[in-house]
Structure 1
């Protein structure tokens, strides 16, 4: 066997030491010895996952927005635990120190999770406070405890830096929010919440566990979600007892195009679970379906009930906007229902705020409208009948 010359042997050992040091420097905290890991149990949500270790947690957000090509990871740990850790600067997209005393969220859909977990007093700022409907959080806004931050796509960073939150919970449609980058440069972590991307109603609701992880309230979040899921499944089972199956039309015109829920969308799933005949239930797709007025009239002229006719708030408003709506039997019989009139003190829509967290209430509302005999004492929470 050919011997290695001394100078090459020295070089070989030098390279070996360099490689070992490099590998050590690139080792993420998850690979430290003695850390037992378990995964947060999720039944419906597909956009995030959580790995729980002895002294810290790692949240992975895989679907922050539709067609996202990047997965985001966040380290959550106490200040004491972090002081004992070493990891590369770019190992995570954010390092979150708990307990979180001050938080900023950027969507009204985040508000119910904070309130359900009993941590709404941690909220110190929000972009567009008039959109918030919750009476509990509105009281805090009126007392000046929740600062106005402008708009989500252009948050007032001067005010945000003044209140200096421990965390900003953001959402994005394409990852191009430059304001979030400015916030992160100020050493305020920003974590993406992708609940709105979920393809199922219960998947959206299960994101309460995301906030449960942030606030060390995993058990509480699990218990709350289990109750919501049970109420939803109980309502779905109740709807199967219906003796009739009314036909349902949904949506309305935007310019020359009628927008309806596609057959695989969460909105269509509500109608299926309510045991009604949604006239476009056999279509594919998770978003909106686009139809001409003539196609909708041909299929739904005789529909028994019209749900969610866009942003309209009365029959008169619908007629004034487009007299062609009066051709539908549901309009003539005044069987038109919408959530547009369920608003807070400053005009925020309750359905858009609370609906994602409480799909059980949405399903019960629809069952009450379409099978009133099954829920005699129930008062709809979001949907109201148009009176004029």
Structure 2
């Protein structure tokens, strides 16, 4: 089978190389065809600068050349631009009502910035804002899309590198699974079952035993290049002989260095805090009361943040597991150093779970690690029951936006697919914006947005909730308006329906049901007894 795959890859590479050669020739011919009375359309990269720095245009954009004259079709990130000025000439918005503003404007040269003015109506009064626009040459940034009167349509083909990567990824994944299975068999382990996970997608647990019925759990976290495999000993089972170096053996983990703050509450909830000996967060920064108490008593010691751990302390006090989040990948040398000292490093990916109950279900992993499975199952079952209690309550649907404002006045919102947005919907509300461009560009739960766009998406929202995580809590709507004056025009501000997430909420990982209950109360105007949300003074 392997020989067939190699042969197929070689044939595919040769075929695509040939296609690439002929397409290159066709492309070069087409680039030369623009001179005589032809109309050729390109897809070119476009960059925008100036203004507040928060507006953007779609890139690549459509460029049309006719008899040496060029126009570019600009689609803005907002629907509030009603006209543009280019060298004094006015161009009106071509988009349908509700769609993002669209203009077709002329430009003289590729790869050279030129000034334009856009008039936005997002604020109380229209504003003309000056920008600089650059359209990159199609020779470096784009391919012809179609030629009307030109030499025909050019369809882009996958490159040899892209085709080879796709094939390699598929083969690598299959080979990795086969290799893992063979490695476990060589160690005398046979699979006996798997952990049932209802919502979590970023980890799995499979159970194994050896010939003498000693039990183990294979923990797999992530996928692709960042896949992690751990074999956890159950009931003091010894490390199997000949275990693959791709699998990290975990024996006792009773002296854990916990760096990922979101995990502390989950471990505390299953009564396993006595297994945490070190933390990457100072006592003053903890909102998990049990963790703060343990640090004051000296049961948990501060051992440095993720990027600068106290190696000597960890080694001297026999640390036997480090639980990190993905920030550790910014300092790979630290991860390597910990592992070289014999400290296994587990990078948890709960933040990559889009469903709130998926994030919570990581509690089962910690129940497994610290022999608290019954407690973990009980917490999870109780939270699921509470979290789903409002799904069919018939609550009047109100729109809710969650945001923060940076010190520079830039809005940061939770993405529509984020777990906070999901909990709002589970509580009976409607998270806004429901859809927004760019939400799949990375794994982050937040994204920056222009004040104009935020006004479009949330200006009529029934409820605003300020996220205090980064910039801290605010006490009144006036405090909020000082951060960005545009907020004064929002419906929720005028109606006195502005709330703030308490600063301790994002460490309270186990309290999914409590947040949803809070949200349901807010939606129904019952704001006297909230746990993680409070109403701002007007």
Mark yes or no: TM-score above 0.5. Answer: yes
Paired residues in the alignment total 342
Cα displacement (A) at 1:339: 1.5
Write out per-residue CA displacement over residues 99-129 of structure 1, whole angstroms, 9 at most, x where no aligned residue. x322221122111121111111221111122
> In 2, Cα distance between the equivalents of 1:34 and 1:249?
51
Write out per-residue CA displacement over residues 342-366 of structure 1, whole angstroms, 9 at most, x where no aligned residue. xxxxxxx421111x32221111111
Match of 2:453 in 1: 295
**Structure showing greater Rg:** 2
1:384 aligned to 2:534? yes
Which structure has the highest helix share of the two? 1
Match of 1:191 in 2: 346
TM-score (norm 2): 0.59
Kept in 2, the 8 Å contact 1:337–1:385? The answer is yes
TM-score (norm 1): 0.80
Match of 1:266 among 405, 419, 426: 419
Match of 1:44 among 199, 208, 214: 199
1:70 aligned to 2:226? yes
Cα displacement (A) at 1:134: 1.8
Write out per-residue CA displacement over residues 311-359 of structure 1, whole angstroms, 9 at most, x where no aligned residue. 342224323322332222322333211123xxxxxxxx421111x3222
Which structure has the highest strand share of the two? 2
Match of 1:208 in 2: 363
Write out per-residue CA displacement over residues 147-185 of structure 1, whole angstroms, 9 at most, x where no aligned residue. 112212222222222322221111224734322221111
> In 1, Cα distance between the equivalents of 2:532 and 2:355?
19
Distance 1:116-1:31 versus aligned 2 partners, 3 A rule: farther
Match of 1:111 among 261, 264, 286: 264
Cα displacement (A) at 1:50: 0.8
Cα displacement (A) at 1:73: 0.3
SS of 2:366's equivalent? helix
Match of 2:475 among 314, 318, 322: 314
Higher relative contact order (CA 8 A, sep 6+): 1
Distance 1:30-1:173 versus aligned 2 partners, 3 A rule: farther
1:333 aligned to 2:495? yes
- Equivalence map 1:167-246=2 (5 Å): 167-173=321-327, 175=329, 176-238=331-393, 241-242=394-395, 244-246=396-398
Match of 1:7 in 2: none
Distance 1:69-1:32 versus aligned 2 partners, 3 A rule: closer
SS of 2:390's equivalent? helix
> In 1, Cα distance between the equivalents of 2:188 and 2:243?
17
> In 2, Cα distance between the equivalents of 1:358 and 1:227?
10
Cα displacement (A) at 1:258: 2.6
Kept in 1, the 8 Å contact 2:433–2:457? The answer is no
SS of 1:82's equivalent? coil
SS of 2:263's equivalent? helix
Match of 1:164 in 2: 318
Kept in 2, the 8 Å contact 1:248–1:279? The answer is yes
Q: CA RMSD in A?
A: 2.7
1:304 aligned to 2:304? no
Unaligned runs of 5+ in 1: 1-25, 341-348
Give structure 1 regions of 4+ aligned residues with deviation exceeding 6 angstroms.
Answer: none
Kept in 2, the 8 Å contact 1:45–1:206? The answer is yes
Unaligned runs of 5+ in 2: 1-180, 210-214
SS of 1:151's equivalent? coil
SS of 1:44's equivalent? coil
